Amino acid sequence: MAASFVPLHHVSGCFTYACPEREYRRTHFHSHGWSPAPATKYRLRPINASVGTPSFPLFQPTPVQESPSQLEPADPDFYKIGYVRSMRAYGIEFKEGPDGFGVYASKDVEPLRRARVIMEIPLELMLTIRQKLPWMFFPDIVPLGHPIFDIINSTNPETDWDLRLACLLLYAFDKEDNFWQLYGDFLPSADECTSLLLATEDDLSQLQDPDLVSTMKNQQLRALEFWEKNWHSGVPLKIKRLARDPERFIWAVSIAQSRCINMQVRIGALVQDANMLIPYADMLNHSFQPNCFLHWRFKDRMVEVMINAGQRIRKGEEMTINYMNGQQNQMLMQRYGFSSSVNPWDSIPFSGNAHVHLDSFLSVFNISGLPGEYYHNSQLADKGDNFVDGAVIAAARTLPTWSDGDVPLIPSMERKAVKELQEECQQILAQFPTTSAQDQKLLESMPEARRTLETAIKYRLHRKLFIEKVIEALDIYQERILF
């Protein structure tokens, strides 16, 4: 049965007010038929809260009898601490721009040796689901026996995380007085969402990337088939109203994909890999050089957004995190619906035999570190030299290179290699139906275009700008080393 996968600590609990004689009863297991009456005349309206699995009463020590005159009833608000919580923010503000919401510093932040907290989001506000069986989710908004259990159980926990999160998200929108009903007003609509799951066939054709087009069509078909399987005409109304049309469900999947954060969290003694929709933190935009990161504080069961140790931030500067480290633009487009011409992890599929001298190329652009951790050493660069960016870093990583100890380069061989690599880059550019200048002009002439179409054109533009940057970098390398 679907309900058998639900751990006991996901059942809502009720608390009763303690009487002066320090006698109390816990009534957590209503669904299991165990509900002793509280022996108290002071009753507090039950508070629904997700709590940990209580110790079995048989093994609890006998309560110590205290004199009634020595004890005072706790304030009713005491019972809400840790259970009815909200998000907290420190020194930041949310702003909405043409590309959606962002998080910005509301004051200057001086560098500190320790990371600094700017947001605290409690678990009660999140939608989470475990990656592996037995699957668990939070919050416990789905009652036992609800048919959404069967739908989620029919998925593969390790591959269908987006479908599972979409189901929970749609249910949260439908549940009365749920936090996500209000927060959903701040999520991008289907027209504003950049996810290629919502792209038309014409939008996808604008990508000029057959592999990515094929991948996105398969994902669209996967989401559509899942909806047709579980939202057919015979399903109960409580399921049908969650997504009356496939567009609604595909939109929920796109939100799950583009705003999901994968984290390893600890709840009690259990450490689990979870897919999480974390409100407010999902407003942080991406950067390849982020100034913030996320941290799970298991003690209080909340996610902290923290400023990097030693990071200086000015008032008005955007707070960013790194969504996916080490991924090329194709993967960023597939998952989040954006790309960048300065992605330090992008690459060019060179197929020739030409190689340039690695150490010489790195020294020309003052690039330091190991291949997986290349960075621009600005202390060695001249003032005003802003040529080196993510694209040049990516070129240092993706260009065919050679290095043989202390063997110096041979200028004639190096010149030949540079020329061959540039010619191959030009051949790749010639395969595109349009040039980068044409793409840029097209973007400027269509301010009211659909977001998915705009995203597709930006993707192909960024690919061309990246290749052009590599060609320019090879020119500079040749000038500074060989002449």
pLDDT band with cut points at 50, 70 and 90 for residue 139:
low
339-480 fold: set domain protein methyltransferase, domain 2 (3.90.1420)
Residues of the chain with CATH 2.170.270.10: 72-123+278-319
The pLDDT mean for the chain works out to 82
Secondary structure of residue 408 in the 3-state scheme:
coil
Least confident of 7-21, 71-85, 92-106, 455-469: 7-21
Residues of the chain with CATH 3.90.1420: 339-480
CA-to-CA distance for 401 and 353, rounded, in angstroms?
10
Q: Residues 236-281: pLDDT tens digits?
A: 999 999 999 999 999 999 999 999 999 998 877 888 889 999 999 9
Report the pLDDT value the prediction gives residue 243, as an integer from 0 to 100.
96
pLDDT band with cut points at 50, 70 and 90 for residue 30:
very low
Report the pLDDT value the prediction gives residue 408, as an integer from 0 to 100.
77
Is residue 309 within 8 Å of residue 112, measured between CB atoms?
yes
- The tokens for 121 are 């989001």
Query: Taking the C-alpha atoms of 138, 141, 147 and 151 in order, what is their torsion angle to the nearest 10 degrees?
Result: -30
Mean pLDDT of 365-380: 87
Cα 478–Cα 481–Cα 482 angle in degrees, nearest 5: 65
Report the pLDDT value the prediction gives residue 70, as an integer from 0 to 100.
54
Report the pLDDT value the prediction gives residue 196, as an integer from 0 to 100.
96
Please report the DSSP string for 62-91 in residue order: PPPP--GGG--PPPGGGGGTTTS---EESS
Measured between alpha carbons, how far is residue 465 from residues 27, 91, 204, 346, 458 in Å? 64, 36, 20, 12, 10
Q: Are strands 285-286 and 318-321 parallel, antiparallel or unpaired?
A: parallel
pTM value is 0.79
Cis peptide before 139 (omega within 30 of 0): yes
Report the pLDDT value the prediction gives residue 474, as an integer from 0 to 100.
95
Q: Residues 384-410: pLDDT tens digits?
A: 678 999 999 999 999 999 987 777 788
pLDDT band with cut points at 50, 70 and 90 for residue 157:
confident
Least confident of 121-125, 324-328, 381-385, 461-465: 381-385
**pLDDT surpassing 90 at residue 60:** no
Report the pLDDT value the prediction gives residue 447, as an integer from 0 to 100.
80
Report the pLDDT value the prediction gives residue 329, as an integer from 0 to 100.
96
**CATH for 72-123+278-319?**
2.170.270.10
Share of the chain above pLDDT 70, in %: 80
Report the pLDDT value the prediction gives residue 342, as an integer from 0 to 100.
94
**pLDDT surpassing 80 at residue 79:** no
- The tokens for 196 are 């290629």
